[in-house]
Amino acid sequence: MAAVKELIVDPVLTLTAIPLLGAGIGVLLWSRPRTLKAWALFLTAALVVVAVTAGTADGDAAIAPLSWLLILASFLAVFGQDPYMEAPSSIVLTLLFLGLSLGTLASGGALGIIFFSVMLGVIGLAMVWHGRTTSPMVWGAVALCGIGVLCLVASLAASGSVAVVLRLVAFATALPLFPLHGVFVGALSHLPGSLPAFLAVALPSLGVHGVVSISAAVPAGILPSLLLLALIGALYGSLKALVQCHLGQMVAYLAVTLLAIPWWHMAVTAGKMPQAAGYVSAVAVAMGGLLLAGHFVQARYGHLDLDKLRGLARPMPRFATLFGLLIMAAMGLPLFGVFSAFMAMMFSSSTTLPQSIVVILLVWFMASWLLVMLMQRILFGQPRPDLLYRDLSQTEVLSLVLVLCLLALGGIVPAGLFQLGDPAALSFLEVNR
């Protein structure tokens, strides 16, 4: 009985099982999207209380902030989900991915790898299930999901450097690294509703947790290759973002650009990247906020074509104000967490900054310019006379305000809050010892 009681009150089991069971119950509410949304909001709000009071496995302070962030991101995604636009699949998948993400973070060892494998597999199946198979990007993303799953499964049977490299490849699909960024871009631009806003936070969070956990064991011989891929990926992402006409794809490639910087940081510091999780979290929340704002636009006009969306500043002043603030946060203005996390990561190492820092700064400024261009394309210009414009509702305004508050909070919290150290590092390596 004591063993059963301990199992029931195990916070890891609780945090993982609640959203998974919630997703199962959500399937029964599929035909009633408003009831399903209310159920999911209650569930995620309850998870916030459980996470804060119960903590994570063994009180691991290294992964607790990431777990809280994922729960808050899921709450905001569900809160902002339009009840009529692909709401059932978006909400159920959000709960499912939340459970798998929390299981990946908290479990460790072989079980954590299995959770992450299942998540990549479900992402691939979800893209096929939603019928967006006419795009070569979707099939490429599905293929990369399969590669990630195969690498994770193979790493369970391998040991030493081979297992580390296999897992590094899989984590590069979540924390997007060229040329494995297709899973991230496909998920953010082809999955329904507000789900991309959650995955924009969940995938990089899982990726950086995994990368930091094995960074000390990464063979020194592959660090120059990681440095080169990070620089190429940052430049490639910015160039791809420049030519995009779809808001989701442009935001996804901007995220690829900014999230290449932690890979560069790991390569130049020989695996010492204690502040990377804070930077990744700040960038992910900013991109998730932009995708959530895009979901509100798509719910009104049925598309996110940047060539057809213009002049929203005058007829939609609330949207314009909040979207502009999100752009400023993503650009790294000092008031928000992206800037402080970037500075903490840049100066976390005592070594002399390498020459490649020039490329990273160039990429940072290019991404900022692209974000300004995105704001200009959507907010300015003459409104279309054939569209009936409708500004954000109070619920939608509140959801974006909460995202901005989260970003502002990231600018004032201690730099070491998201520091992932040795306790997390052991969780992905212990199975092969």
Model confidence at 211: pLDDT above 90: no
The band of 418, judged by pLDDT with boundaries at 50, 70 and 90, is low
The 10 Å CB-count burial string (b at 16+, else e) for 363-380 is: bbebbbebbeebbebbbe
pLDDT in tens, 300-312: 887 778 878 888 8
Residue 126: alpha-carbon gap to chain centroid: 17
Question: What six digits make up the tokens of 189?
Answer: 């631009």
Question: What six digits make up the tokens of 252?
Answer: 């996804």
pLDDT of residue 356: 76
- From residue 125, alpha-carbon distances to 130, 133, 187, 368, 405 in Å are 9, 11, 11, 34, 34
β-bridge partners, 305: 246
pLDDT of residue 6: 42
13 burial type by CB count under 10 A (0-12 exposed, 13-18 middle, 19+ buried) = middle
Question: What six digits make up the tokens of 5?
Answer: 């009681």
* 13 or 25, greater pLDDT: 25
For tokens 């990368």, what's the residue? 211
Judge whether 39 and 22 are in contact, CB under 8 Å.
Answer: yes
Share of the chain above pLDDT 70, in %: 85
3-state secondary structure (DSSP) of residue 118: helix
Share of the chain above pLDDT 90, in %: 25
Model confidence at 57: pLDDT above 50: no
Judge whether 368 and 331 are in contact, CB under 8 Å.
Answer: yes
For residues 354 and 410, what is the distance between their CA atoms, to the nearest angstrom? 27
For tokens 């402080």, what's the residue? 340
Residue 27: CB atoms within 10 Å: 11
pLDDT in tens, 323-335: 999 998 888 777 7
Judge whether 154 and 135 are in contact, CB under 8 Å.
Answer: no
Dihedral (Cα; 224, 225, 227, 229), 10-degree rounding: 170
Judge whether 142 and 177 are in contact, CB under 8 Å.
Answer: no
- From residue 378, alpha-carbon distances to 77, 291, 295, 364, 383 in Å are 22, 13, 14, 22, 10
Model confidence at 96: pLDDT above 90: yes
β-bridge partners, 246: 305
Judge whether 200 and 287 are in contact, CB under 8 Å.
Answer: yes
Residue 44: CB atoms within 10 Å: 25
How would DSSP label each residue in 326-373? HHHHHHT-TTSHHHHHHHHHHTS--SPPPTTHHHHHHHHHHHHHHHHH
Model confidence at 201: pLDDT above 90: yes
Residue ranges of E strands in 277-323? none
The band of 432, judged by pLDDT with boundaries at 50, 70 and 90, is very low
Judge whether 197 and 80 are in contact, CB under 8 Å.
Answer: yes
- Return the half-sphere exposure (C-beta side, CA atoms, 13 A cut-off) of residue 6: 5
Judge whether 249 and 277 are in contact, CB under 8 Å.
Answer: no
For tokens 């794809």, what's the residue? 249
208: part of which helix (H) or strand (E)?
Answer: helix 195-215
For residues 148 and 152, what is the distance between their CA atoms, to the nearest angstrom? 6
Model confidence at 5: pLDDT above 50: no
Residue 257: alpha-carbon gap to chain centroid: 14
The band of 58, judged by pLDDT with boundaries at 50, 70 and 90, is very low
pLDDT of residue 331: 85
Q: Among residues 228, 226, 237, 137, which one has the least CA distance to residue 183? A: 137
Residue ranges of E strands in 117-201? none
Q: What is the 3-state secondary structure (H, E, C) of 218-273?
A: CCHHHHHHHHHHHHHHHHHHHHHHHCCCEHHHHHHHHHHHHHHHHHHHHHHCCCCC
Amino acid at 390: R
Q: 0.85 cut: is pTM over it?
A: yes
